[in-house]
Amino acid sequence: MTRSILPAYAGVIALERGAPGLWPAAYDVLIARVVREVATAFESFDTVPHWRGRAGGALLRNAYADIGVTLAGEQALIWMALRADREFCIRAIRPDLRPSAVNWLAGASGRFDSVLTQLGCAPAYHLLPGTPASTAFASHVATPAAPRLPLAA
């Protein structure tokens, strides 16, 4: 069973690819910046790279949430969402865990918006629960105002 990524908070940034061989460098720069900015804003996140569904790569995880990057063309969606892994779902059976996770996520939204601003993302989108990230992301990919992330020299 594949779960969709249901981001609660997200921002869009365009990758400056240049020559075809430079795409991996642009992606690596983005990932390094995301990990660095999140570590500065949130001490509770650990680096735990893994796939989430078919489209999203989660980079960081704490007790309640994942932070990751989903790519579409030359743009990236940087998102924060409730965890959806097996371990969390088993723990979430306890009646007090899911509301605590939702409350934590809502409380952390301001700091995550600041991280998105530091990364140069277009305004943060607070996506509605139940909207798959691919659908929500597709509606924002065509946004011409998405800032561009330059390649490191």
Written as six digits, the tokens of 53 are 């569904």
Interatomic CA distance for residues 63 and 83, integer angstroms: 8
At 57 the pLDDT is 80
User: For residue 82, how far is the Cα from the chain centroid?
Assistant: 11
pTM equals: 0.74
Written as six digits, the tokens of 120 are 């140069």
Selection from 66, 134, 64, 62 nearest residue 104 by Cα: 64
Intervals of the chain under pLDDT 70? 1-7, 17-20, 51-56, 123-153
At 14 the pLDDT is 81
At 48 the pLDDT is 85
Interatomic CA distance for residues 17 and 25, integer angstroms: 8
135 SS3 class: helix
At 33 the pLDDT is 93
Domain residue spans in the chain?
9-146
Number of neighbours of residue 59 by Cβ within 10 angstroms: 19
22 SS3 class: helix
**DSSP H/E element including 107:** helix 97-119
